[in-house]
Amino acid sequence: MGSLRLVLGDQLSETLTALEGCDKKKDSILFCETLDEFTHVKHHKKKIAFLISARRHFASLLKKKKYPVYYVELTQDSLSTVIQKVMQDKKLSRLIVTFPSEYHVLKELEALKVELEIRSDTRFLSTPEEFAAWAKGRKELMMEFFYREMRKKHQVLMEQKGPIGGKWNYDAENRNPPKEGLQVPPPYEEKQDRITQEALALVKRHFSTHFGDLAPFYFAVTREGALKALDLFITERLPLFGHYQDAMIEKEPWMFHSHISFYINTGLLEPLEVIERAEEAYQKEKAPLSAVEGFIRQILGWREYVRGIYWLKMPQYATLNFFNAKRSLPEFFWTGKTPMNCLAQCVRETKENAYAHHIQRLMVLGNFALIAGLYPDEVNEWYWIVYADAYQWVELPNVTGMILYADGGILGTKPYAASGAYINKMSNYCKNCAYNVKEKNGEKACPFNYLYWDFLLRNQTKLSDNRRLQMIYRTLQKMDPERIKMIKEDAEGFLTSL
C-alpha cells in the first residue's frame, strides 16, 4: 500500500522532505484548500489570492513532472476530513508530512487516527530541538547570541579569526533617517496568468467581506518569479538596504526592503540560498558589509530565532498578557481613518499591499498598540490577518514578545515604546499630520508624546526595575507633578475617545 504525502500551503518547495522517496505509482500527493484555512482568521484578500495561486502553480509543476497529485479546491470540509477521505478512497496506509509551521495544524494532524510520519522541515536552518538545547539553562534568550551561533554553524560572513570585518553586528550604521529627494526603485511585479486570474476571481466570490484590497496584484506566485524578485532586490535595493532600513517616507511603502518574506515563508525561496546571494554581493563589492550583515541577520538570526521561541513556548505563549492590557483594537486599524498621519499611512498601505516594512510594523503600529494598552489577542489577530507573510509562528513572537512585551521579557529586554520624536526623526509623516509632534501636551500635541509617558506611569511597578529603563524612570521621578497630571489627563481623554 502507498502513502499520502501532504503538502501544506507554506511548503511549496521541491526539496520538501515529505516528497522525498515518493513512489509515483503507489503514493498520492495531497494539496487541499480548506475554507477554515482562510477564515480561521479572516486573512487579507490579497494574501488569500497569493496563497491559492502559488499553491496551484506548485501543484501544476509537480503534475508536469509526473508526480501523482491529488488537488482539492476550496472546500468546507476540514483538512482532517479530506485526509481521511482520500486515504480511504485510495487505500493508502500512511500519512507523510513535513513538520507544520503552526501549532494548531500540528495538533490537528496528531489527532488523526492514521499512521503518521512527521519529517523535519530542512528548509529552516535550525530545528526546534536545537533551539531548545541552546535555550536550556539561559536566564535570557538573547537573539544576538543565538545569531552568532548560527553564523558559526553555517559559516556565513565568517573568516578564520571570527566575523568578517571584526564585528558581529553593524546595526549602528543602519539607522539613517530618509533624505529629501531619495529615489526608491519600483518593486517587483508579476503579470497575471490564468491560474492567478482564477484565484483572484475565487477570492472576489468567497472572501469579499475580508480586509484589504485585491488589486493591484503584484506577487510572484512561482519559484521562477520569486527568484526574479530576489535578483531585483540584490541588484537594486540591497546596496542601500542597511542605510535606510529604519526609514519611512509617505507614500513609499516598499523603501529598500527585500519584499521576499512572502516567498521564503511559503517555500518558493529557501533561506540559505537567499543568504548566499547576499553574501556573494558583498564578496563582489556590490553591497556594503553593513547592509549585507543587517539583511542576513533578519533571516539567519531573527527568523530562526522567532520560530525557536514559538515552538519552545507554545501553547502557553499565545495566552500571555504581562501588562494585563484590555483596550479593544480601534476601528482605524481597519479603516485608516485617523488624524494621526503616521498611523493612517501605515494602515492604508497595509490595506493596499498586505505589506508594511518592519519599522512601520514595530515603531508606528506596534508602538501605538503597546502604549495605548491594546488587548494582545486582538493585536495578534490583526497582524496575522493583514500581512501576506504572516503565519502564527512569525507574528506571535514578534507581536507578543517584541511589540507588546506581553511575554514579560522572554523575547526582548525592554518594551519598544517611543514618543513622537522617534517617528519624526525616521520619517516625514509628521509634516502632514493634524497634530504637532513638538507639542508635549494639549489638544494639538502628538498623542505618542503623552501616551509614551502615560504607559511608563501605568506600568511603573512592572518596569521600574528593568535595567534598560533606569534612566527613563529617573527622568520621570524628576518630572513636575503638574506635567504628570497633564499627561494622565491627555492620555485618558484620547484613549476614551477611541
Quick one: three-class SS letters along 14-65? CCCHHHCCCCCCCCEEEEEEEHHHHHCCCCCHHHHHHHHHHHHHHHHHHHHC
Q: Residues 20-73: pLDDT tens digits?
A: 999 999 999 999 999 999 999 999 999 999 999 999 999 999 999 999 999 999
Q: Residues 453-492: pLDDT tens digits?
A: 999 999 999 999 999 999 999 999 999 999 999 999 999 9
Please report, for the domain that includes residue 436, its CATH number. Answer: 1.10.579.10
Spatial contact of 303 and 146, defined as CB atoms under 8 Å apart: no
Which of 75, 90, 119 is the last residue in one of the domains?
Answer: 119
Please return the burial class of 330, using the count of CB atoms within 10 Å of its CB with bins 0-12, 13-18 and 19+: buried
How far apart CA 23 and CA 290 sit, in angstroms, is 47
- Asked if 22 and 132 sit in the same domain, the reply is no
Of 190, 183, 189, residue with least CA distance to 256: 183
Q: Which amino acid is residue 334, in one-letter code?
A: W
Q: Residues 80-117: pLDDT tens digits?
A: 999 999 999 999 999 999 999 999 999 999 999 999 99
Q: How far is CA 247 from CA 54, 104, 177, 480, in A?
A: 31, 36, 5, 34
Residue 152 pLDDT greater than 90, yes or no: yes
Q: Is position 318 within any domain? A: no
Rg (CA), the chain: 23
> Interhelix angle for 79-89 vs 103-110, to 10°?
40
Q: Check residue 257 and give its pLDDT.
A: 97
DSSP state for residue 260 in the 8-state scheme: -
Question: What are 255's three cell numbers?
Answer: 523603501
- Asked if 36 and 55 sit in the same domain, the reply is yes
Q: Is position 322 within any domain? A: no
Q: How far is CA 141 from CA 16, 131, 313, 317, 413, in A?
A: 30, 10, 12, 15, 9
Question: What are 105's three cell numbers?
Answer: 495544524
Please report, for the domain that includes residue 197, its CATH number. Answer: 1.25.40.80
- Asked if 434 and 455 sit in the same domain, the reply is yes
Please report, for the domain that includes residue 52, its CATH number. Answer: 3.40.50.620
Q: Residues 242-274: pLDDT tens digits?
A: 999 999 999 999 999 999 999 999 999 999 999
Q: Is position 277 within any domain? A: yes
- Asked if 292 and 416 sit in the same domain, the reply is no
Q: Which residues of 71-104 are buried (b: 16+ CB within 10 A; e: fewer)?
A: bbebeeeebeebbbebbeebebeebbbbbbbbbe
Q: Check residue 175 and give its pLDDT.
A: 83
Q: Is position 351 within any domain? A: yes
How far apart CA 147 and CA 168 sit, in angstroms, is 9
- Asked if 173 and 197 sit in the same domain, the reply is yes
Q: Check residue 161 and give its pLDDT.
A: 83
Q: Is position 258 within any domain? A: yes
**How many separate domains does the chain show?**
3
438 — pLDDT class (breaks 50, 70, 90): very high
- Asked if 347 and 461 sit in the same domain, the reply is yes
- Asked if 196 and 296 sit in the same domain, the reply is yes
Q: Is position 381 within any domain? A: yes
- Asked if 55 and 178 sit in the same domain, the reply is no
Which of 119, 148, 182 is the last residue in one of the domains?
Answer: 119
For strands 94-98 and 162-163, give the pairing. Answer: unpaired
Residue 162 pairs in a beta bridge with 159
- Asked if 202 and 350 sit in the same domain, the reply is no
A 10 A CB-CB count for 106 gives: 16
Q: Which residues of 430-457 are buried (b: 16+ CB within 10 A; e: fewer)?
A: beebebebeebbeeebbbbbbbbbbbbb
Which of 67, 95, 119 is the last residue in one of the domains?
Answer: 119
- Per the prediction, the chain carries an average pLDDT of 97
The residue behind cell 510594523 is 361
**Contacts made by residues 181-188, CB under 8 angstroms, sequence distance 24+:** 182/244, 182/249, 184/249, 184/252, 184/254, 184/255, 184/256, 185/236, 185/237, 186/254, 187/218, 187/232, 187/254, 187/259, 188/218, 188/220, 188/225, 188/228, 188/229, 188/232, 188/233, 188/259
Residue 160 pLDDT greater than 90, yes or no: no
Question: What are 444's three cell numbers?
Answer: 494639538
- Asked if 12 and 145 sit in the same domain, the reply is no
Q: Is position 230 within any domain? A: yes
- Asked if 83 and 146 sit in the same domain, the reply is no
Identify the domain containing residue 48 by its residue range: 3-119
pTM for this structure? 0.97
What's the average model confidence in pLDDT over 284-289? Answer: 97
* 3-state SS assignment for residue 339: coil
- Asked if 114 and 142 sit in the same domain, the reply is no
Q: How far apart are the first and last CA of the chain?
A: 60
Q: Check residue 208 and give its pLDDT.
A: 97
